[in-house]
Structure 1
Amino acid sequence: MKNQKKTSIRKSAITMFVVTIVVTIFSVLSSNEAIGRLHDVATETQDVVRNDIYKLNDIKTEYYGLLPQLLSYTTKAEAEKKATEELIHSKQEKVKACLEELKSGHSSEEETALYTELNGTIEEYLVSYNKALGFVINGNVNELLLIAKNELNVKGEAVEEKLSQVISYCNDKLDTIVGRGEVVFNIRFWINVVVGIIMVTVFIIIIGAIYICILKPLAEGQKLVNRVAESISNNCLELSDRIEINRNNEIGEVFVGFNLVLDNLGKVFARITENSNVLKETTDELDNVSNSAKGRIEDISATMQQLAAGMEEVASSVAVVTGNAVEVNNNAADIQTEVNGMKTLASEIRTKADSLSEMCETQREKSTTMMNSITGAVENAITESKKVEQINELTSDILSISQQTNLLALNASIEAARAGEAGKGFAVVADEIRVLADTSRETANNIQVISDMVNKSVSSLAESSNQLIEYIRTDVLKDYDSWVVAGKEYAEGAECIDNTMDQLSDKTKELQQIIGEISDSFNQISATVEESTAGITNVSENTQELVYDVQGIAGQAKKNLDVVADFEEVISSFKQD
């Protein structure tokens, strides 16, 4: 079998698929290319014929529009006749252009001759038409009617007959081309049907080849593998059994690999048998060692538990002492806070006392200055107020003048009475002078009364001012002196309290420092005790877990013995050479 040439199933399958795909693609492309060329030619021909039909319809439309324009020319105004002429010429040019395109767009002799005849017929009609147009423009109505009945009518019928003939030819040609297109479609359809049948046939061949080359050998191999598996499940497999191979492909390689598995399996079972005996002896020794270690570990665990209990008691005591130290430290901190508060208060009292002393000194100086200033101003005012006495002298002079004026007015009245009628005016003036003198006397008396009241008020004000100045000098300034002395005494007392609070604060800080050091020491002791307790507890737990692990090892050793027994039972079911 080793000398046989190996056949690859994968290569065979790929080769069949590639051949099928190449044949299918080549057939489809070849048929589609030929049919496509036929379709393109048919489509192009259809477009040309349709274009000819459109142009013939345009010629027909323009032709039928010429005669109505000619007949309506005579009824139009002069301004519209020029536009009608231009329209007629435009239609003729369009007809000629369409005819030229029809003649130049065909190469066959039949079509060229047909369009040439159409062109000649239309040109003859246009010549007669232009002649009739000339008659219309020149006003020869009789000539127009004559040519319209004879020449135009005959040539027009010829044009219509030729147009109908050409259009019928084009329609017939278009129908023929459409029929050819249907034939091309039918050819394409049947080609695709044939290609589909070929593809189905090829796929059926491929499926048969796959069944013969792949599925059938696999079924045979599956039967052999099932037989081996059944013998294994019945504990009657002989390791010398092998699968016979008669395939030189991938399936044959699979069977070769299965035989190699059986060979290696025999070697493995031999080593398992050898090592199972060693494992049994090792397991027995491990069971004895684990039983001995279990007792020793239990003793270590009990000792560790006792140590852990003792360390927990020590930790509890240290925690109590640490708590007391913390409480003392907190109390010292509270004292320190109160001392700082008292120190601050003493500083504020001293500051306020100094400020009070300075303020009192300043106010005393201001009051002294103000008192001296007020005293001088009051004395000056009293001196100036004595000038009011001069009002009395002035009022006395006014009373004396008013008396003299009255006497003068009396004398004037007497003289006016003596004068009679001539002295009446002078008498009136004398009466007015007398009234004015009386008014002046009354005003002077009122001024004397007011002047007396002012004199009394000024005297009273001077006396009160002197008493106020004396009170400030004897009482207020002395009180300022007392306040200055008291402020200095308060400042000295506050300074003494401040010094005492400084000393107490220093002592409190020393106490806090000592208590803090004690607390740190106890914390370190507590941390050490906790670490020791945690370590002992961890050791105790690990020891307990070690006990469990040893017990687990013993259990696993027993399971190993059971596994060895199972191995021996399984191995005993295989027959080895």
Structure 2
Amino acid sequence: MIKLLSSKLPFRNAGKTGPEKQKKSILASIFSFFSKRLVVRIITLIVSVVLVGNIILLSYVVGTMRAGKLDEEIRITESLANEKARSIEIFIENVTGYTKYFQQMMIIQRISRILQRSEVRTILERNLDSSPEHIFGMYVLGEAKAADEIDVSFVNSDLGDSKGRIRLHVIKHYNRLGNINPYLLDPDHPTNADDTEAYSHIKQTIKPYITSPYVVEEGDKQYTVIAYSMPITTNGTDFHGIVGTEMYADHFSSLVKEATQEIGMSGLVMDNGEILSYGSDTGYEGRNISSYLSKDLMAAYQEAKEKGSTVSKLSYADKKLYCFSPVTIPGTDIRWIFWSEIPIDGIMNEVNTFTSIVILISIATLLIVLIVASLLVSRQIRPIKVLTGHIERFANADFTSSIPANLRKRKDEIGKLASSTEKMQQSVSEIIRNVRVQADEVAEAVATVRNYINNLHLSIETISANTQQLSAALTDTNGSAENMNKAVSDLTQVVDTIRSNAEKGNISSMEIRNRAQEVFNKVRLSSSENQKMQEATKKRLEEAIREADSIHQITLLLDNIMAVASQTNLLSLNAAIEAARAGKAGAGFSVVAEEIRKLATQSRNSASQIQDISNLVLLSVTHLSESANDLLRYFETNVKESFKLLDQTGEQYNRDAALYQEMSLKLASTAETLSNAITALKDTLMKVVSATNDGAQGAAVIAEEASRILAGSENVLTKAITADESAARLKDAVSMFVIPE
């Protein structure tokens, strides 16, 4: 298929045309290749449907698996993130235990005054010495008279600031041997001032508070710490100072580093949005979370912070899964956020592997479908190609080929189509065979009529010639009668002349009688032959017309063909509707239905052409029938009457000739009574002249009628020639069809 397609593409002329024309030519060649090959279109449709189905199935399976994998990873990540957030909360809660202890101690001290300031310092140092390594310091920062009533005694001392207020702040100090020696900071140290973050906030809110990381400087050393502080109050509204515990900020970095190793890149954000720690080696830098996360991720961060529950968010731009878990600071409404980042590529490795396998399976399935579809469609299209070849031969007027028996024996639509095509071929062949026979018979009948008309034409010409001779003879008889009249006038002078004229009259009368008898016999014979010819012609014409009526059977058969074609067209339309309902799956069947509809249309057009030819034959037969009927009526009304008149005139003329002969004999035998008979002879001669004139007039009438009959016979002969030509055209039209013998 690829080789055939490449042979049709105009690569040889690519250098002679522009790129645009070459592209259009290639597209036109590809379109022509597909439009002329039904098998390729059907296979392409099937493969396209399978391909689309595979794509949809693959998308669904991969999407479902991807979603399931993501949901599973989200659940796992959220669980781990929650676990780490809870561990941070527990860590802070352990630290708050020391602060709560100091709070209760100072509340009791505020009420009962049982401890000295030095004892409070000792308690702080002992607790710090025994505290875990992540605790940096502990402090009690009181207002005036928060610890005792003698603030004045401690002004600018180790146990009091410049105002004498208790300002005890003990931190860890490691000696050279690595042992802890609690170290008391100067009461006026910046971390002990009233304007520190923790002191000012708690004084305003009377609520526990955890600070942002801050730096504690002591000598040449700096420590970054976070403090958890609680107010010193007796009734919940009065403020007497704060107590607190300081933690190394780096310890939170170790917790985040541990989470990064277990979960993935992780971070811890404080309530103000500052990143406390991120990843394995990034500590507190004062960087805000808004400079790191996008707007969508910031929305998820805020949601987790506000709801107090874990929120996960996929970022396809970063190709990461973000999980935000709140860390609630005990005793406060402050929430830190612990978040982790999981690369999607790592999550999707299993999904991608499965997708690759499914794609390979889909490609293999597509190739198998392509091969199977090619075999099945080629097998189904092959009978249609065979039927198409037969129908094309039928369209070219060749009905000699036969539909293979294996196609007609099929039980499906192709078998029905093959059987219908076979029946159509047989019906049309039988119609054409009958038309040929009828055309030959019509041609034979037309030839016979033409011969009869030619003979009639010759007979009428003979009658016309005889009529002219009869007219000449009557003219001679009229002259003879006038001579006889003159002779009778001179009878008194020359009797011999009278006798001689009588003998001549006798001879002339014999000739006249013989001629009259001859004319009479010829007229009778012509009348009899005309009657026989008329009856024979009428009989043959009636038989030819009856036989020509069989052409009407062609019209009935053609109506059946038209009905079959219409039914086939209707079936193809129904098939196209069902294919349209089926959508893409039925598009191949829609193409087959369209081809069947075209074949039905071609069959109907061929039947219409045959019907036109049949109508032409019927029209010719009708014209022939009308012409023959006109001829028969003409014979019946004109020629027959003319012969009857000729017959009567001949009979009268024969009687007159006999009388003339009898008179001549009497004249010869009774010459002595000539004078008495002159008068009678004159009367007789006058009658002869009158009869001769009547005979001449009758001969003229007969000649005129014969001329009209001759003109009518020429008209009939012309129509017979036209009918012969119509029959020849009918035979030529029928000869175009090739049918089996």
Superposition TM-score, scaled by structure 1 size: 0.27
Larger Rg: 1
Could you say which structure has the higher helix fraction?
1
Identify the structure with bigger relative contact order (alpha carbons < 8 Å, sequence gap 6+).
1
Superposition TM-score, scaled by structure 2 size: 0.22
Could you say which structure has the higher strand fraction?
2
